[in-house]
């Protein structure tokens, strides 16, 4: 929500058609004994090594903190950056007496931490009032370089039918207020309370995109362009498409997998555009239904196949997406790693499934918190 952006050139410096990718991750700060969210961001920021502070920011609530990786062409550089930043931030949190969790929202019941003292956030609370029901919504935002804004808008159109699959794959917030919510991504349900959160509409042009932003601001729905919380959007500062549908991933492996899939989705969209293949104009309400189903079932249930509106196993839809992305994954040198990471995801389950498995074994949310903290650090 801060608008921190991973600046990335659209393509490789050598002029090839490989695309850069960068990742933002938001984390929750909790009491190490109870798992309750704590307003400790200032204490943690003081403990962050000086050389990394440019990649760490406060988020909306004082129980949240955010990192941003430098853009890269190779997954190993993204893995290195995220691993280093997560490890440093986990250490900083422990020195501050708290624990860092890569989790969509807090599982334990407790007081709602205050919003960070920032003029823009103050204006948001004044305008929209009590839209913060929990300890903090923590997402993952992936930026992929595009050559220009007009191409970016076309890419957004092509991505729309596939984002529910990504939504399901990243579900990592089944618990809230001490109970199982029945959803795999409760963060998604809470996040929807903001009026500008929605699937990206079908866009006729970049001018149409900009006109909608002006109209939404004029209507009072948003304070500024930074509040355009569509599931995918153009960066306001850099030549990137930003996909922002997912819960923050529990582990670096999960985050690297999602980054690779998102880059391949953008690359595949650009190939379709170059070949003159039009984007599918998915019905808005069916798209809303697909995202609701993804938030509810996650990867372990069913999803809506937007080619025919029928329900399919979510894993089947993910496999179909990966098959479609295969040429782009091969071109970027990511296919072998993605195949390996998908195997791990299939064995261990989504983040939501892992949390529920721990709770089923022990019946203790503190054990869930402990396991998420372990995955966060890696």
Q: What is the pLDDT of residues 124-137, one digit of tens each?
A: 999 998 787 789 99
pLDDT at position 5 is 40
Q: What is the CA radius of gyration of the chain?
A: 19
pLDDT at position 16 is 59
Cα atoms in the Cβ-side hemisphere of radius 13 Å centred on 348: 20
Among 4-13, 216-225, 305-314, the range scoring the smallest mean pLDDT is 4-13
Bridge partners, residue 364, by sequence: none
User: Does the pLDDT value for residue 59 go beyond 50?
Assistant: yes
Tokens describing residue 362: 């022990």
Q: Which of 7, 112, 25 is nearest to 378 (CA)?
A: 25
Cα→Cα distances 69→52, 78, 320, Å:
11, 7, 29
User: Does the pLDDT value for residue 13 go beyond 60?
Assistant: no
User: Does the pLDDT value for residue 4 go beyond 80?
Assistant: no
pLDDT at position 130 is 74
Write the pLDDT tens digit of every residue in 73-93: 999 999 999 999 999 999 999
Mean pLDDT in residue range 10-15: 47
Count of CB atoms within 10 A of residue 205's CB? 12
User: Does the pLDDT value for residue 293 go beyond 50?
Assistant: yes
Tokens describing residue 9: 């050139």
Mean pLDDT in residue range 25-41: 98
3-state secondary structure the chain: CCCCCCCCCCECCCCCCCECEEEEEEEEEECCCCCCECCCHHHHHHHCCHHHHHHEEECCECCEEEEECCCECCHHHHHHHHHHHHHHHHHHHHHCCCEEECCCCCCCCCCCCCECCCHHHHHHHHHHCCCCCCCCCCEEEEEEECCCHHHHHHHHHHHHHHHHHHHHHCCCECEECCEECCCCEHHHHHHCCCCCCECCCCCCCHHHHHHHHHHHHHHCCCCCHHHCCECEEECCCCCEEEEEEEECCCCHHHHHHHHHHHHHHHHHHHHHHHCCCCCCCCCHHHHHHHHHHHHHHCCCCEEEECCCCEEEEHHHHHHHHHHHHHHHHHHCCCHHHHHHHHHHHHHHCCHHHHHHHHHHHHCCHHHHHHHHHHHHHC
Count of CB atoms within 10 A of residue 308's CB? 7
pLDDT at position 17 is 86
Tokens describing residue 228: 């355009």
Bridge partners, residue 280, by sequence: none
Q: Which of 122, 129, 142 is nearest to 60 (CA)?
A: 122
Q: What is the overall mean pLDDT for the chain?
A: 94
pLDDT at position 139 is 98
User: Does the pLDDT value for residue 344 go beyond 90?
Assistant: yes
User: Does the pLDDT value for residue 361 go beyond 50?
Assistant: yes
User: Does the pLDDT value for residue 3 go beyond 50?
Assistant: no
User: Alpha-carbon distance 261 to 167, whole Å?
Assistant: 12
pLDDT at position 65 is 98
Mean pLDDT in residue range 191-210: 97
User: Does the pLDDT value for residue 346 go beyond 50?
Assistant: yes
Write the pLDDT tens digit of every residue in 254-285: 999 999 999 999 999 999 999 999 999 999 99
User: Alpha-carbon distance 167 to 163, whole Å?
Assistant: 6
User: Does the pLDDT value for residue 8 go beyond 60?
Assistant: no
Contacts for 205 with CB less than 8 Å, ≥ 6 apart: 150, 153
Cα→Cα distances 253→75, 213, 231, 375, Å:
10, 35, 22, 9
Q: Which of 353, 164, 355, 378 is nearest to 253 (CA)?
A: 378
- With beta carbons less than 8 A apart as the criterion, state whether 180 and 356 touch: yes
User: Does the pLDDT value for residue 311 go beyond 90?
Assistant: yes
Count of CB atoms within 10 A of residue 53's CB? 10
- With beta carbons less than 8 A apart as the criterion, state whether 271 and 41 touch: no
Write the pLDDT tens digit of every residue in 348-360: 999 999 999 999 9
Count of CB atoms within 10 A of residue 259's CB? 26
In terms of DSSP bridges, do strands 99-101 and 139-145 run parallel, antiparallel, or are they unpaired? unpaired
The percent of residues in the chain predicted with pLDDT above 70, rounded, is 96
- With beta carbons less than 8 A apart as the criterion, state whether 372 and 93 touch: no
Q: How confident is the model at residue 237 (pLDDT cuts 50, 70, 90)?
A: confident
Write the pLDDT tens digit of every residue in 101-149: 999 999 999 999 999 999 999 999 999 987 877 899 999 999 999 999 9
């Amino acid at each position: 929500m801060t608008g921190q952006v991973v600046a990335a050139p659209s393509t490789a410096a050598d002029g090839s058609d490989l695309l850069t990718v960068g990742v933002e991750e938001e984390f929750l700060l909790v009491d190490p004994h109870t798992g309750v969210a704590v307003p400790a961001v200032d204490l943690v920021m003081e403990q962050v090594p000086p050389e990394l502070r440019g990649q760490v920011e406060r988020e909306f609530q004082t129980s949240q903190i955010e990192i941003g990786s430098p853009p890269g062409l190779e997954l190993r550089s993204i893995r290195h950056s995220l691993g280093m930043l997560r490890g440093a931030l986990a250490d900083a949190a422990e020195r501050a007496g708290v624990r860092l969790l890569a989790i969509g929202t807090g599982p334990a019941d407790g007081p709602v931490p205050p919003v960070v003292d920032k003029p823009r956030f103050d204006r948001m609370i004044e305008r929209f009032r009590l839209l913060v029901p929990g300890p903090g919504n923590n997402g993952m935002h992936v930026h992929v370089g595009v050559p220009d804004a007009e191409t970016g808008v076309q890419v957004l159109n092509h991505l729309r039918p596939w984002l529910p699959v990504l939504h399901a794959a990243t579900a990592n917030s089944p618990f809230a207020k001490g109970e199982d919510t029945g959803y795999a991504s409760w963060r998604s349900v809470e996040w929807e309370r903001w009026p500008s959160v929605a699937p990206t509409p079908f866009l006729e042009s970049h001018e149409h995109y900009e006109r909608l932003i002006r109209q939404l601001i004029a209507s009072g729905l948003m304070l500024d362009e930074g509040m355009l919380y569509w599931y995918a959007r153009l960066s306001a500062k850099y030549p990137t498409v930003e996909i922002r549908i997912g819960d923050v991933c529990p582990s670096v492996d999960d985050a690297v997998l999602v980054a690779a899939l998102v880059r391949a989705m953008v690359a595949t969209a650009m190939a379709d555009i170059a070949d003159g293949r039009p984007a599918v104009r998915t019905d808005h309400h069916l798209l809303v239904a697909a995202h609701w189903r993804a938030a509810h079932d996650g990867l372990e249930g069913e999803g809506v196949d937007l080619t025919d509106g029928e329900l399919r196993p979510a894993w089947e839809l993910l496999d179909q997406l990966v098959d479609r992305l295969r040429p782009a994954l091969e071109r970027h040198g990511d296919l072998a790693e993605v195949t390996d990471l998908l195997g791990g995801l299939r064995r261990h389950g989504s983040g939501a499934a892992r949390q529920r498995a721990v709770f089923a074994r022990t019946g203790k949310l503190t054990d869930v918190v402990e396991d998420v903290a372990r995955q966060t650090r890696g």
